[in-house]
């Protein structure tokens, strides 16, 4: 059996008699003792031996004990060593305070009883051991958090590949009208549930990034009305499928603010989707108003429903992670309980506020979002991008997932494009060099040569006569920035909705 290591104490005192006495007391108590007579010698020994405790006299011949303690704390290698100041002179409260401010953990005045010295050393050792355990636990938690983030990123990538194939395939089917009402209904179910799965994957990753403060907004000037109209187009089929009415009221003039359009869509999609999820019958209303005057104006968006409401005991924590109004065992409403946490964080990142109001269970609820608007005289919105015909482009698709590759190829060919495909990065580069396309859609997680290296190769060998778009299952600002640095023009995350792909091709 391995014997436990003796705790090491560094005893620093220029008085030989005092130093010898303290050494004997500590050795008799079972501690391993090393000694120093000057401050500089103490600093050197502390860095070499890393003692558990330093018994440090305040008055030394070269530098004071206060200075020694300050230097110990400033050095990362010695900062965690417990330090006990001692003094053979009358010690006033201000001197004790000075020692503690310099970083000392305890202060004893000589002469002191041996029992008092040993008890103080034991106390400091307990404190040091507790700090070491807490530090180890913090390191373990940080490592677990890192592994969790890696797992979530890989999980998202693996889920987004099949989602991309499903979403593209249903996009192809929906472009072929059918007279079979049952088939049309099944298409609608597949479309809605695929979108729902994609939102769950995005929410899961976003809440991980937000809790670590790693979400960055890609802000620009935008009209909030345009964002909300886009959200309504997404939500209306969901409300219609549930037999719910959807009332929309917006002001005539623009509501110009600085924000991230994608993130704001996420906010209001979550709120309206929640309203539909928790409303069995009745209606949902989206009411938008402009309040205040220029300089202090704000957009006020109210999402109200006639649903199950929010109990008064749940209301104060409705925005907390994993909080849900429906806490029954049946969990008929579904969801992860993270949507409203994302809403609150994203609204706050936009300088706004969100509030939940409900009279109680069974009486509906209302969520109110307030966002600051720009002054009317500030820079106008950028003009819309002029779209060009997307027909007849030469497109290279580099995708290793066979189902996603086949579905995307058929959709692009259905739109009239000339499409070549490659299952890996090496073949993708060879095809592009042999017959340069106008546009390359490149997956990032490719075998052999990943998407970043494909982009760098194509920029080196073909130049900027080709547009490069990264289509990847890895989301987040890190992936976006790395893609642009590698030479991509755009970075989009799977699954790509057919309508979004259509707009992308038109704008390119």
- Helices 339-349 and 181-211 sit at what angle, rounded to 10 degrees? 60
Give the pLDDT of residue 391. 58
For every residue of 285-345, DSSP letters joined together read: EEEEEEES-TTT-EEEEEEEE-SS---TTTGGGTTSTT--S--STT-TT---S-HHHHHHH
The pLDDT of residue 379 is above 60: no
Query: What does DSSP say about strands 365-372 and 298-305: parallel, antiparallel, or unpaired?
Result: antiparallel
Q: Which CATH number among 3.40.50.2300, 2.60.120.560, 3.40.1350.10, 3.30.300.30 corresponds to the domain 146-215+387-508?
A: 3.40.50.2300
Give the integer Cα–Cα distance in Å for 366 and 370: 13
Residue with structure tokens 């924000």?
A: 259
Q: Are 218 and 159 in contact (CB under 8 A)?
A: no
pLDDT tens across 238-254, in order?
Answer: 888 888 999 999 998 88
Give the integer Cα–Cα distance in Å for 196 and 339: 12
Give the pLDDT of residue 323. 56
Burial of 169 per CB tally in 10 Å (0-12, 13-18, 19+)? buried
Give the integer Cα–Cα distance in Å for 144 and 500: 36
Q: Do the domains spanning 8-112 and 218-372 agree at the CATH topology level?
A: no
Fold of 8-112: Rossmann fold (3.40.50)
Q: Considering only 262-271, 323-332, 360-369, which range has the smallest mean pLDDT?
A: 323-332
In Å, how far are 100, 243, 453, 462 from 195, measured between CA atoms?
A: 59, 19, 31, 37
| Closest among 436, 407, 438, 442 to 423, alpha carbons compared | 442
Give the pLDDT of residue 382. 46
Give the pLDDT of residue 476. 64
Paired tokens of 222 = 């935008």
List beta partners, residue 305.
Answer: 284, 365
Mean pLDDT value across residues 40-49: 93
Give the pLDDT of residue 219. 81
Task: Tell me what the pLDDT averaged over the chain comes to.
Answer: 83
Say which residue, 306 or 3, is predicted with more confidence. 306
Say which residue, 348 or 201, is predicted with more confidence. 348
pLDDT tens across 396-406, in order?
Answer: 999 988 888 88
Domain boundaries of the chain, sorted by first residue: 8-112, 146-215+387-508, 218-372
Give the integer Cα–Cα distance in Å for 203 and 197: 10
Percent of the chain with pLDDT over 70: 86
For every residue of 421-488, DSSP letters joined together read: EESSHHHHHHHHHHS--SEEEE-SS-SSS-HHHHHHHHHHHT-SSSEEEEEES--SHHHHHHHHHHT-
Mean pLDDT value across residues 119-138: 88
pLDDT tens across 82-93, in order?
Answer: 999 888 765 667
Mean pLDDT value across residues 467-473: 88
Q: Are 271 and 331 in contact (CB under 8 A)?
A: no
The pLDDT of residue 47 is above 60: yes
Give the integer Cα–Cα distance in Å for 426 and 453: 10
Which strands form 439-442's sheet, in the order they lie side by side? 418-422, 394-398, 439-442, 467-472, 490-493
Mean pLDDT value across residues 21-31: 92
pLDDT tens across 272-295, in order?
Answer: 988 998 898 899 999 999 988 666
Say which residue, 414 or 425, is predicted with more confidence. 425
Mean pLDDT value across residues 165-177: 79
Q: Contacts for 490-497 with beta carbons within 8 Å, 24 or more apart? A: 493/160, 493/202, 494/160, 494/161, 494/163, 494/164, 494/404, 495/160, 495/163, 495/164, 495/166, 495/167, 495/168, 495/194, 495/198, 496/164, 496/167, 496/168, 496/471, 497/167, 497/171, 497/195
Give the pLDDT of residue 384. 46
Give the pLDDT of residue 92. 67
The pLDDT of residue 146 is above 80: no
Q: Are 448 and 426 in contact (CB under 8 A)?
A: yes
Q: How confident is the model at residue 2 (pLDDT cuts 50, 70, 90)?
A: very low
Give the pLDDT of residue 43. 94
pLDDT tens across 51-61, in order?
Answer: 999 999 988 99
Q: Considering only 173-182, 206-215, 306-315, which range has the smallest mean pLDDT?
A: 206-215
Task: Give per-residue burial for 63-76: e unless 16+ CB within 10 Å, then b.
Answer: ebbbebbbbbbeee
Q: How confident is the model at residue 333 (pLDDT cuts 50, 70, 90)?
A: very low
Q: How long, in residues, is the chain?
A: 508
The pLDDT of residue 1 is above 70: no
| Helices and strands per DSSP (H, E), number in the chain | 14, 17
CATH 3.30.565.10 fits 218-372, yes or no: yes
List beta partners, residue 235.
Answer: none
Task: Give per-residue burial for 420-440: e unless 16+ CB within 10 Å, then b.
Answer: bbbbbbbbbbebbeeebbebb
pTM (2 decimals)?
0.51
Give the pLDDT of residue 371. 95
The pLDDT of residue 209 is above 90: no
């Amino acid at each position: 059996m391995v014997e436990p290591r003796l705790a090491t104490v560094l005893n620093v005192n220029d008085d030989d008699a005092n130093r010898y006495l303290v050494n004997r007391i500590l050795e008799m108590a079972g501690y391993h003792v090393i000694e120093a007579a000057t401050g500089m010698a103490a600093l050197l020994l502390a860095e070499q031996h890393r003692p558990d405790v330093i018994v440090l006299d305040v008055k030394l011949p070269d530098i004071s004990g206060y200075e020694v303690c300050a230097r110990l704390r400033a050095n990362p290698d010695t900062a965690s060593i417990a330090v006990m100041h001692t003094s053979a002179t009358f010690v006033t409260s201000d001197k004790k305070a000075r020692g503690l401010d310099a970083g000392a953990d305890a202060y004893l005045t000589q002469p002191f009883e041996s029992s008092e010295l040993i008890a103080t050393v034991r106390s400091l050792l307990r404190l040091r051991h507790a700090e070491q355990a807490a530090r180890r636990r913090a390191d373990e938690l940080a490592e677990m958090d890192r592994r969790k983030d890696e797992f979530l990123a890989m999980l998202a990538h693996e889920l987004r590949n099949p989602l991309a194939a499903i979403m593209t395939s249903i996009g192809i089917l929906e472009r072929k009208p059918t007279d079979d009402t049952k088939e049309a209904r099944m298409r609608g179910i597949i479309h809605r549930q695929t979108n729902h799965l994609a939102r769950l994957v995005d929410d899961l990753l976003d809440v991980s990034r937000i809790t670590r403060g790693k979400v960055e907004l890609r802000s620009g000037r935008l009209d909030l009305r345009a964002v909300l109209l886009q959200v309504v187009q997404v939500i209306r089929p969901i409300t219609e499928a549930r037999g719910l009415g959807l009332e929309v009221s917006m002001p005539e003039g623009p509501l110009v603010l600085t924000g991230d359009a994608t993130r704001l869509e996420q906010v209001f999609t979550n709120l309206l989707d929640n309203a539909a999820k928790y409303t069995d019958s009745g209606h949902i209303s989206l009411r938008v108003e402009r309040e205040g005057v220029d300089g202090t104006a704000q957009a006020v968006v109210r999402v109200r429903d006639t649903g199950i409401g929010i109990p008064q005991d749940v209301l104060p924590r409705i925005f907390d992670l994993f909080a849900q109004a429906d806490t029954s065992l049946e969990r008929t409403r579904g969801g992860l309980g993270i949507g409203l946490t994302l809403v609150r964080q994203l609204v706050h990142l936009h300088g706004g506020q969100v509030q939940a109001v409900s009279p109680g269970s069974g009486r509906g609820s209302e969520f109110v979002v307030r966002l600051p608007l720009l002054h009317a005289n500030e820079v106008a919105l950028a003009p819309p991008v002029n779209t060009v015909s997307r027909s007849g482009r030469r497109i290279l698709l580099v995708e290793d997932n066979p189902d996603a590759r086949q579905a995307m190829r058929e959709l692009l060919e259905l739109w009239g494009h000339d499409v070549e495909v490659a299952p890996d990065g090496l073949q993708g580069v060879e095809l592009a060099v042999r017959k340069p396309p106008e546009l390359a859609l490149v997956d990032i997680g490719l075998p052999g040569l990943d998407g970043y290296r494909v982009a760098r190769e194509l920029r080196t060998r073909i130049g900027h006569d080709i547009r490069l778009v990264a289509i990847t299952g890895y989301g987040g600002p890190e992936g976006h920035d790395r893609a642009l640095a590698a030479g991509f023009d755009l970075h989009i995350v799977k699954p790509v909705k057919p309508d979004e792909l259509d707009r992308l091709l038109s704008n390119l």
